[in-house]
Amino acid sequence: MDESLVRALQNDFRSAPIGEIERVMLEYAVKMTTDATKITREDHENLRVVGFEDQGILQITLIAAWFNYINRVADALGVGRE
């Protein structure tokens, strides 16, 4: 992957040179990570508008949830802090 793109994504994906599909997907993942109880049908509709079907929305949700889960497990066990 292009290093400048990686840096742009790390700094702020909203200003990174990515497409609308990726931006909407990342907005959803961030909202889900911040507070999944705030996800609404509108969020799912935003994903559908850019081309995601139910299976894709499920996959995005499961992958983001898994990363959230595994990061919290690692944090709780102190993985990487030593």
Domains in the chain, ordered, with CATH?
Answer: 3-77 (1.20.1290.10)
> How far is Cα 14 from Cα 8, in angstroms, rounded to an integer?
9
CB-side exposure of 78: number of CA atoms within 13 Å? 2
Among 73, 61, 70, 74, which residue's Cα sits nearest to residue 31?
61
pLDDT tens for the chain, 82 residues: list them.
689 999 999 999 999 999 999 999 999 999 999 999 999 999 999 999 999 999 999 999 999 999 999 999 999 999 987 6
* Residues 32, 43: Cα–Cα separation, whole Å: 10
Q: Which residues contact 44 (CB under 8 A, 6 or more apart)?
A: 57
Give pLDDT, residue 71: 94
The pLDDT assigned to 81 comes to: 77
